[in-house]
Structure 1
Amino acid sequence: MSSSTSAPGSGPLTDAGPVSLCAREPHVPADRLVAEMVPPPRFDSVRFATYLPDPNQPSQSEAVRVLEGFAAGLGGAHAVGGGKRGFLGFGRAKAPKTPAGPRGVYLDGGYGVGKTHLLASLWHATPAEPALKAFGTFVELTNLVGALGFQQTVRTLSGHRLLCIDEFELDDPGDTVLVSTLLGKLVEAGVALAATSNTLPGKLGEGRFAAADFLREIQGLSAHFRALRIDGEDYRHRGLPEAPAPFTDEEVTKAAYATEGASLDDFPHLLEHLAKVHPSRYGALTDGLRAVCLTGVRPVPDQSTALRLVVLADRLYDREVPVLASGLPFDRLFSEEMLNGGYRKKYFRAISRLTALARDAKGLVGS
């Protein structure tokens, strides 16, 4: 396997054969983190009009109606006044007191019901220039705090009209306190919030850490949102065939060498490499890729590794990168214990998304 590549995490791929993700160690500057807080490529062109509600699930049509009204209500002057806003949010008028009632919407539902589609549609429909609205995953938001510092993040995002947070799931009590405090500050500054999750805000952290010890913070988060339940089955499997069977190592390797812009890695080695790269950089890790080819897929060995793989699957799905693999099928990645534990919804989402990407990759064999 060739590990030839340009500077880690940047630049075009060479045509000297497939690159190795294990050879990449991307570093993402803070200004890129801010600039890239927009819907990812898969959701760049989605709109409310392109969302296809399941006629058997009225909550889906109701969610569209509520979100369209929410977007329309954000069309006035920004709540913090008319002061000029610099790149990092300096120079605005003093923020008003916290508005009464929820200042955001929270899309709750199972994986594959179109929550991210709706969240991105809300971002697009909000009548404000892109620099005044932000879209990112929960891990990207927490990493922004790590890169800029808490106070600077508050100043940066306080100038926005809308903050959209995808995949809102709290994995440790430190994140609970951090995000609760951050969102409280942003609500005080007049920023509207929207989030998606598989877990109601009052249930965040359940089954993962001692949520009862942080009940005040969790309830504080819940108070910021009006929850919208979206029912339905996973659209990625609605009327579609089962996941394709894995290919052989030889088929995957040949496809990697025959596909421009492909990567080729041994799955266990890739899992080891992910432990050395912060999950917030997994998007940069996949820069320029047109396909990911993996040999020797097998069950993940532990929960920490599994959660890192979930984030990688999300970034590949966002960027519409097909995944060709040998070994076990993706629905056997996680143990029964994992699929019955506190992170089960994350794991089912990862299986769903990787299965969709595996379908996208079928044409690479023999191409």
Structure 2
Amino acid sequence: MSSSSAAVSGIGRIPEAVPLSLCTREPYVPADRLVAEMVPPPRFDSVRFDTYIPDPNQPSQTEAVRVLSGFATGLGGAPAGGTAGKRRLFGFGRPRKKTPTGPRGVYLDGGYGVGKTHLLASLWHAAPAEPELKAFGTFVELTNLVGALGFQKTVQTLSGHRLVCIDEFELDDPGDTVLVSTLLGKLVDAGVALAATSNTLPGKLGEGRFAAADFLREIQGLSAHFRALRIDGEDYRHRGLPEAPAPYSDEQVTKAAYATEGASLDEFPPLLDHLARVHPSRYGALTDGLKAVCLTDVQPVPDQSTALRLVVLADRLYDREVPVLASGLPFDKLFSEDMLNGGYRKKYFRAISRLTALARDAKGLVEH
């Protein structure tokens, strides 16, 4: 019996509309929407450098704001696109005769929860260019854009930008490594400035995930495009905050879903199965219009492929500020010890951190 059926037959009167279900959604995202949505997500729409609060015990955070502010200022001048634009020297307004040497981008390296996405979005907002001349997207969204438009069309589209920001930059397989290395090289040649965030230094990308040593040339080529900027600190999402709420009962979650307009209600295991049928680049569209996600019977994630899909869903829910109410196991028990000690451990810890923050946001759904 589904959660929705159980709610109606086993809990008593719930005189509200039937909740939505993620498992019934299979969104199609046209290529023009992919391009149009390459802007900071709702959570980071209003962030700026002056809304970033550096930890006074971590001077690298203050330094990051200073460096990125200067980086944004250096983006003045004509846009990269067009015949004249492609001959602009990055950071100045004069024509260039050849591709300049040295890093033409900034790469924010640090643990989860130190505010890297906040800073990357702030850079996007601060860059002196019209929104259509700068792009912001996750690494997954960038690679999917290539799949939707084709490589040459993607190069043509993004070469007209002054700045391309890539959040959650990670290399999970050889195909992505060769693809992105070539793509970014083309963009740099076109005069596009780059900025990225990651939990891994550029030269260490891919370690523990595939035979990265076999793609050393591509990885070193990627590294050459960036100046790495280390940001230290603890996870701000839990700094000084009370412990996340324990999971609720199936009954509490179901009642809250029926009482919350725009909430979805799904059992966790079927949802994991459904995620395998939807490309991760569409997980944002999967959550369109949702005010809350309610999950029953949360269980350990069975395998790494499923776990990586769940990480992407957690990122999209966090970006869109969608609270998550759940029953079953707490979120810090989702991933096995082997997963938390493996090559993707930073992704899993980020997912736990973000889901925990969203669980805290959902507490009011039960209380009200």
Range of TM-score over shorter length: over 0.9
Instruction: Spell out the pairing of 1:1-367 with structure 2 (5 A cutoff).
Output: 16-79=17-80, 97-367=98-368
Identity of aligned residues (%): 88
CA–CA distance in 2 between the matches of 1:148 and 1:81?
20
Deviations 1:36-84 (A, max 9, x none): 0000000000000000000000000000000000000001123455669
Q: Distance in 2 between matches of 1:287 and 1:79?
A: 33
- Asked if 2 retains the 8 angstrom alpha-carbon contact of 1:40 and 1:319, the reply is yes
Aligned residues: 348
- The whole-number CA distance in structure 1 between the counterparts of 2:303 and 2:101 is 44
Amino acid at match of 2:340: L
Report the alpha carbon displacement of residue 96 of structure 1 after superposing the two structures with TM: 5.9
Residue identity in the other structure for 1:154: V
Indicate conservation of the 8 Å contact 2:296/2:328, yes or no: yes
Alpha-carbon distance in 1 for matches of 2:220, 2:126: 29
Counterparts of 2:243 and 2:232 in 1: how far apart (Å)?
22
> 1:234-293: CA deviations, max 9, x gaps?
000100112210000000000000000000000000000000000000000000000000
Alpha-carbon RMSD:
1.6
Letter in 1 for 2:251: E
C-alpha separation in 2, matches of 1:304 and 1:277:
13
Do the aligned partners of 2:80 and 2:161 also contact (CA within 8 Å) in 1? no
Q: CA offset at residue 366 of structure 1?
A: 3.8
Q: Distance in 1 between matches of 2:33 and 2:80?
A: 26
User: Whole-Å Cα distance in 2 between the matches of residues 348 and 334 of structure 1?
Assistant: 9
CA shift for structure 1 position 100: 1.3
User: SS where residue 365 of structure 1 aligns?
Assistant: helix
SS across alignment from 1:136 = strand
Q: Mark the CA change 1:39 to 1:366 in structure 2 (over 3 Å): closer, same or farther.
A: same
Please say if residues 320 and 357 of structure 1, whose CA atoms lie closer than 8 Å, have aligned partners that are also in contact.
Answer: yes
Distance 1:134 1:109 in 2: 22
Distance (Å, rounded) in 2 between the aligned partners of 1:104 and 1:44 = 22
Output the CA distance in 2 between the equivalents of 1:293 and 1:104. 40
Counterpart residue identity of residue 123, structure 2: L
Q: Is the 8 A contact 1:204 1:218 kept in 2?
A: yes
Contact 2:165 2:195 in 1 (8 A): yes
Shift of residue 98 of structure 1?
2.0
Q: Provide, for residues 107-130 of structure 1, a one-character-per-residue CA deviation record: whole Å limited to 9, x for no partner.
A: 000000000000000000000000
On the 8 A contact 1:131/1:160 being kept in 2, the answer is yes
Alpha-carbon separation, structure 1, partners of 2:263 and 2:124:
31
Distance of 2:328 and 2:79 partners within structure 1: 53
Question: Contact (CA 8 Å) 1:80, 1:96: kept in 2 or not?
Answer: no
| CA distance, structure 2, for counterparts of residue 128 and residue 361 of structure 1 | 37
Separation in structure 2 between the aligned mates of residue 70 and residue 289 of structure 1, nearest angstrom:
36
Measure, in 1, the Cα distance between the counterparts of 2:251 and 2:85: 59
CA distance in 2, matches of 1:298, 1:107: 33
How far residue 223 of structure 1 moved from its aligned partner, in angstroms, is 0.1
Unaligned runs of 5+ in 2: 6-15, 87-94
TM-score (norm 2): 0.92
- C-alpha distance in 1 between matches for 2:265 and 2:171: 32
1:293-318 Cα offsets, whole Å, 9 max, x none, are 00000100000000000000000000
2-structure distance, mates of 1:99, 1:318:
35
Which residue identity is paired with 2:113?
Answer: G
Partner residue, 1:91 = none
2:40 partner amino acid: P
**Matched residues in 2 for 1:365 and 1:240: separation?**
19
> Which residue identity does 1:107 align to in structure 2?
L
Contact map agreement 1:79 1:95 (CA 8 A) in 2: no
1:345 aligned partner, one-letter code: K
* AA aligned opposite 2:116: K
Aligned-residue offset at 1:97: 3.1
